[in-house]
């Protein structure tokens, strides 16, 4: 897989919560960190995503929000 995004985190799918149109895919990237992504059910089926399979969380930097504790 070759893509322009530099923020690629490989992990294992730990759960998929299916909805009517979208699903929430959770990927364990190690160190106790879980990344969640909401994608269409069509994409989940097309990619063959299943619990236990390896997958990548690919993050587009313009969509990341940063916060701090006060």
Tally of structural domains, the chain: 1
Residue 42 within a domain: yes
Domain with residue 14: its CATH number is 2.40.50.100
pLDDT one-digit tens code per residue, 9-25: 999 999 999 999 999 99
Query: Rg of the Cα trace of the chain?
Result: 13
pLDDT tens per residue, range 25-43: 999 999 999 999 999 999 9
The number of helix segments (H) and strand segments (E) in the chain equals 1, 4
Q: Of all residues in the chain, what percent carry a pLDDT higher than 70?
A: 100
Stated pTM of the model: 0.84
Q: Is 11 helix (H, G, I), strand (E, B) or coil?
A: strand
SS3 45: helix
Can you give the pLDDT at residue 6?
Answer: 81
Whether 56 has a pLDDT exceeding 80, the answer reads yes
């Amino acid at each position: 897989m070759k893509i322009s995004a530099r923020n690629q985190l490989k992990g294992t799918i730990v759960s998929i919560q299916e909805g009517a149109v979208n699903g929430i895919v959770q990927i364990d990237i190690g160190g106790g960190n879980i990344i969640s992504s909401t994608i269409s059910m069509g994409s989940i089926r097309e990619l063959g995503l299943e619990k236990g399979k390896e997958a990548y969380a690919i993050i587009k930097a313009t969509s990341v929000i940063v916060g701090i504790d006060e």
